[in-house]
């Protein structure tokens, strides 16, 4: 998916907070799915320094841009760039075939220090192995970690991960929206630092769900940011997403902490969609609870549910209805209970202002629901702490609207300044 500050970008943003409005008629499920899907427990000393929430393959559109998830790859090399939140002296990657319908054959994998675009710094490329072999197979529904490789890294450093496919993969498990490009090339370019063959790119991540580090300063646990497009980073121009900014803030204070972005644009509490991920209670185990070393989670959800019946979207059935505040609160409570059962702190983020968006999601009735949910997040005491996104983003003269200096050109999502303001409001002492 391309992401440019153009009219097309405004269309892309429709698939974020506002782009998923289908709501189920009943309450959100109150029990988190217990089906284990993650890789085996990590050995001691490892921290997940980068991660992404995986989604089912879905076609690209004129609005959200192209992606390669439906066709997959065959006799190609795919290079993807990620940014670590914490460093170390060893690295391993995690691959996901959780939505695959057949075994995923990886012919080779490599990691090195990104030199920008599809380039890798010469001398830093390390080939990866899986149980001692250069190739591996990831079973359908499974995730798999590589063997560790020696590679010194620093906090906020960017790495390039390259995967080699020789046989057709079929539709891919992937993450649909990023502000970072992934590149592909025909043939074997696994360990080439620079290659003009990596000419085609999309803004998605394929199969890559985590990068772990060990041997660094010793991360004091992991913070997961979980939710919808506000968490995913729609409206930012690069590394200004909440997870990135929070990692920078913690690094500047000398607090070694890994931060994971588990946002999915369009995600909701009350309903699954092919384009916008499993509903939050379903994916919470894989995307939060089963990640290694998690000590706290920041949750922003409910905006897409409130947008019900206001958006025409080919990914969604027609005829959605506005949920009640009680339905959304019960969904939040399910996530809080699941986090607390694992000893994880839960920080609730109030729902950002919806009025003034350049697409029809606001109404007085929708505002009433948003206000009720936000009041509960702020005052109930059920969350361990509150990140008040609403008050950070609100216009001083009309609190139902976002402050123009903090809003992206779609009139809804934060721009870079807005994301920076939200990050400054994160209560670090509660993490």
- Higher pLDDT residue, 217 or 322? 322
At 22 the pLDDT is 32
Please tell me the number of Cα atoms within 13 Å of 371 on its side-chain side: 11
User: What count of other Cβ atoms lies within 10 Å of the Cβ of residue 2?
Assistant: 15
Chain mean pLDDT for the chain: 88
pLDDT at 11: 38
pLDDT in tens, 228-265: 999 999 999 989 999 999 999 999 988 889 999 999 99
Q: Looking at the domain that runs over 1-45+218-431, which CATH code has it been given? A: 3.40.50.1110
DSSP letters along 45-92, please?
Answer: TEEEEEE---B-----BTTTB--STTT--SSEEEEEEEE-SS-EEEEE
* Burial environment of residue 68 by CB neighbours within 10 A (0 to 12, 13 to 18, 19 or more): buried
pLDDT in tens, 335-380: 999 999 999 999 999 999 999 998 888 999 999 999 999 999 999 9
Name the pTM for this structure.
0.91
Using pLDDT thresholds of 50, 70 and 90, give the confidence band for residue 220. Answer: confident
The predicted-structure confidence for 302-312, as pLDDT tens digits, reads as follows: 999 998 657 77
The domain ranges of the chain are 1-45+218-431, 54-216
Of the candidates 246, 304, 231, the residue with the CA atom closest to the CA atom of residue 270: 304
Share of the chain above pLDDT 70, in %: 87
Q: What is the DSSP letter of 390?
A: H
Report the distance separating Cα 395 and Cα 32, nearest Å. 36
The share of the chain scoring above pLDDT 90, in percent, equals 76
Q: Per residue in 95-152, pLDDT tens? A: 999 999 999 999 999 999 999 999 999 999 999 999 999 999 999 999 999 999 999 9
């Amino acid at each position: 998916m391309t992401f440019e500050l153009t009219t097309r970008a405004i269309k892309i943003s429709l698939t974020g907070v506002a782009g998923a409005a289908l709501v189920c008629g009943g309450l959100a499920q109150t029990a988190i799915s217990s089906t284990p899907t993650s890789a085996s427990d990590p050995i001691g000393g490892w921290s997940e320094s980068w991660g992404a929430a995986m989604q089912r393959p879905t076609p690209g559109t004129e609005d959200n841009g192209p992606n390669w998830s439906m066709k997959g790859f065959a006799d190609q090399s795919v290079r993807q760039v990620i940014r670590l939140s914490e460093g170390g002296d060893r690295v391993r990657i995690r691959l996901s075939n959780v939505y695959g319908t057949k075994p995923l054959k990886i012919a080779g994998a490599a990691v090195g220090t990104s030199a920008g675009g599809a380039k890798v710094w010469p001398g830093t490329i390390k080939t990866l192995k899986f149980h001692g072999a250069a190739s591996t197979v990831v079973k359908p529904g499974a995730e798999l970690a590589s063997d560790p490789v020696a590679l010194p890294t620093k906090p906020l450093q960017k790495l390039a991960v390259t995967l080699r496919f020789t046989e057709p993969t079929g539709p891919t498990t992937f993450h649909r929206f990023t502000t970072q490009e992934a590149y592909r090339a025909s043939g074997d370019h696994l360990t080439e630092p620079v290659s003009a063959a990596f000419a085609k790119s999309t803004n998605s991540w394929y199969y890559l769900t985590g990068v772990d580090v060990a041997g660094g300063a010793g991360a004091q646990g992991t913070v997961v940011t979980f939710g919808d497009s506000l968490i995913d980073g729609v409206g930012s121009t690069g590394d200004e997403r909440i997870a990135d900014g929070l990692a920078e803030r913690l690094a500047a204070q000398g607090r070694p902490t890994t931060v994971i972005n588990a946002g999915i644009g369009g995600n909701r509490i009350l309903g699954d969609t092919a384009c916008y991920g499993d509903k939050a209670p379903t994916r919470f185990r894989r995307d939060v609870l089963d990640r290694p070393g998690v000590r706290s989670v920041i949750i922003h959800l409910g905006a897409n549910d409130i947008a019900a019946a206001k958006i025409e979207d080919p990914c969604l059935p027609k005829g959605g209805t506005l949920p009640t505040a009680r339905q959304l609160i019960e969904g939040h409570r399910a996530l809080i209970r699941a986090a607390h059962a694992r000893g994880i702190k839960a920080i609730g983020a109030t729902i950002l202002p919806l009025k003034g968006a350049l697409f029809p999601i606001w109404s007085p009735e929708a505002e009433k629901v948003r206000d009720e949910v936000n009041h509960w997040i702020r005052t109930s005491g059920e969350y361990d702490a509150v990140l008040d996104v609403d008050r950070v983003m609100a216009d001083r003269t009309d609190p139902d609207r976002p402050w123009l200096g903090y809003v992206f050109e779609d009139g809804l999502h934060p721009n870079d300044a807005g994301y920076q303001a939200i990050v400054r409001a994160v209560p670090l002492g509660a993490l």
